[in-house]
Structure 1
Amino acid sequence: MPVVVGAPRSGTTLLRLMLDAHPDLAIPPETSFLAAVAALNESDGDLRTRFLETITAYPPGAPNWQDFGLAREALAEAVQMLEPFTVADGLRAFYRLYAQRFDKSRWGEKTPDYSLHVGTIAALLPEARFVHLIRDGRDVAASWRQQWFSPGYEPEVLARAWADRVEAARSTGSACTHYIEVFYEDLVARPEQVLRRLCEFLELPWSNQLLNHQERAPKRLEEHRARVSLDGSFTVSHAQRLHQQRRTMERPGTGRIGSWRETMSDEEVQRFERVAGKLLIQLGYELQGNS
């Protein structure tokens, strides 16, 4: 089970769509609920009901259940049939139902913030194989701060948020049986080479369809429905979400590498590098003053 993690705006949706183009593999839009269901106490009563409520009403402020195209009743029926019931098997039932929508036999996961929960997911789903997508943090910051889900606008805030996710995934992932790092810059420059390596890691037979993800991407991204708050107001519209991911509907290219040079001032870059410069160097990126 591939689990794609990485800081937001690192290219995780692009990689999700590439892998999802495989004829055997289906990866849903971001779920976000794995840590929440992992925290459910299996000794408490009516675990099935609490499991269903958590998945279908998460995140609490603006649930994303409609993104998956599944009927709540179908998941409830699948969960009811599990005996004994465990959270792990309930999750597998959810992913299986999703994959069945596309007549696929395998499933995966892509949620950037699972970078912070690699250990929890590994313990819950031992079949998980973590694919950590890493991108130059300055490019991440330049893109992230324009989005509705940005942690802030100031370079220091973005640098810390990026570094926290990258360091958490690397630290916990290194202790996992199945963990691999992929650089965004390599993925867009040499997609076939990188994707063949990932297929080997995931024990997937190679398919040339992975190189033509853009043919299916517009249809797949239709799942990204509007996020509506409990009071009925829009958190983000369907159109905004499509715009946010518009470049994933194109063939991969290197045009966005180093885009921070055009969109961040020298002062902003220096402020970012003061917080995250050491990590940038560890990952093989050059600092502004050294380029």
Structure 2
Amino acid sequence: MSERPIFVVGCPRSGTTMLQLMLHAHPRIAVPPESRILVQAYRERRTWGDLRRPKNRRALARWIARSSRTQFPDLGVDGDEFIRRAVEGPGSLGSVVGLVFQMFAELHGKARWGDKRPPYIRHLDAVLAMFPDAQIIHLIRDGRDCVSSLKEMPWFKGDIYEAVYRWTESIDIGRGHKLPPDSYYELRYEDLTTDPAATLTALCTFIGEAYDPVMREPYRVADVVPSHKDWHINTRQAVTTTRAGSWSQRLEPWEVSLCETVMGERLTAYGYELSGAPKAPRKDVSAYDKTASTWRRELRRTALTERINRFREPGPVAALLTTTQRELAGVHK
């Protein structure tokens, strides 16, 4: 049976929480609510020093369990027990971080864990550095629906230009990946809601699990999502197709034109039909281009910093929690 960790990624508001719950409903898989542990721990890895030293593992574990930045309490894992096991466990960054999710799986009586956070699509290097055996599931939804939903979220502080960029970025990263077929998988939100049994059966083949019909009823395990995140209220109801295509009532005509002008080729490549809206005015396209350029510069700066940091890592990064992970790292014990 597979022990590989599963990561659900995509543009925000693409249905990743629904997919998280579908996977969490599986008898062997546990997928916790979103936390801010993995990427932050990776970015600050030099802070913790060589994690082959128990005192450094203790410092990292305490930060994970007690920092207000990590959302650790939402997982329901015992913090003191986590710190103790982290100190006694393998000496690598991925081992300490992975232990969080392993303990969450144990809490739910599951043998395998996953994690869901849409922005991981922007941090695949970090995910794969810590978990080289990871399986990435990229959920794709009609970009116009994603944009219209993002506009309504209380936590989204950007404008429509940034919302459009978020979707195009996730598509472009997915198209440009160089992962092997058993490590990266794409599926469409619309297929997942229209024919969940067939779509989930194919997904289970990818992750190496037997399909279970309970996965079609994610609302039954929706209590894993913190109740204060009320923008996920739809996940507490039966899977429905009613939200697909709702962009036609939620976007203004000029916003539809912007989406289809910028996203057009990408939308049709994934089977989404265009409405025939007129081409967006140059001023709107220029505003989008400015936003996209700003974010791309930021991503390039981050990537350069990370390349430099990889030459200065104080200790092992890859997880050593499973037989497969130890074999990948050349540790045979």
Partner of 1:149: 155
Structure 1 residues 55 and 201, CA gap change in structure 2 (3 angstroms): same
1:175 positional shift: 5.5
Pick one of 283, 288, 291 that aligns with 2:270. 283
- Give the aligned residue type for 1:104: K
1:251 positional shift: 1.8
Partner of 1:198: 203
1:22 partner SS: coil
Correspondence list, 1:75-86, <5 A:
75-83=82-90, 85-86=91-92
TM-score, normalising length: structure 1:
0.85
2:41 partner SS: helix
How far apart, CA to CA, are the structure 2 residues paired with 1:260 and 1:18?
Answer: 24
How far apart, CA to CA, are the structure 1 residues paired with 2:181 and 2:125?
Answer: 8
In the TM superposition, what whole-angstrom CA distance separates every residue of 1:32-64 from its partner, at most 9, and x where no partner exists?
32222223035487531442244335674xx41
Structure 2 gap segments, 5+ residues each: 279-333
2:139 partner SS: strand
Q: Alpha carbon RMSD of aligned pairs, Å?
A: 2.2
2:145 equivalent to 1:158:
no
Structure 1 residues 71 and 211, CA gap change in structure 2 (3 angstroms): same
Structure 1 residues 260 and 59, CA gap change in structure 2 (3 angstroms): farther
How far apart, CA to CA, are the structure 2 residues paired with 1:251 and 1:170?
Answer: 31
Pick one of 48, 62, 82 that aligns with 2:57. 48
2:122 partner SS: helix
Structure 1 residues 168 and 274, CA gap change in structure 2 (3 angstroms): same
* Residues 30 and 113, structure 2, Cα contact 8 Å, conserved in 1: yes
Pick one of 213, 220, 243 that aligns with 1:256. 243
How far apart, CA to CA, are the structure 1 residues paired with 2:195 and 2:181?
Answer: 26
1:193 positional shift: 0.4
- Give the aligned residue type for 1:279: R
Moved more, 116-125 or 183-192: 116-125
How far apart, CA to CA, are the structure 1 residues paired with 2:178 and 2:75?
Answer: 27
Partner of 1:108: 114
How far apart, CA to CA, are the structure 1 residues paired with 2:99 and 2:257?
Answer: 48
Correspondence list, 1:6-85, <5 A:
6-39=10-43, 40-41=45-46, 42-43=49-50, 46-56=55-65, 60=69, 63-83=70-90, 85=91
Structure 1 gap segments, 5+ residues each: 226-237
TM-score, normalising length: structure 2:
0.75
Structure 1 residues 166 and 31, CA gap change in structure 2 (3 angstroms): farther
> How many percent of aligned residue pairs carry the same amino acid?
29
Correspondence list, 1:108-127, <5 A:
108-127=114-133
- Give the aligned residue type for 1:93: L
1:3 partner SS: strand
* Residues 6 and 115, structure 1, Cα contact 8 Å, conserved in 2: yes
Moved more, 190-199 or 122-131: 122-131
Q: Report the count of equivalent residues.
A: 269
1:130 partner SS: strand
Partner of 1:178: 183
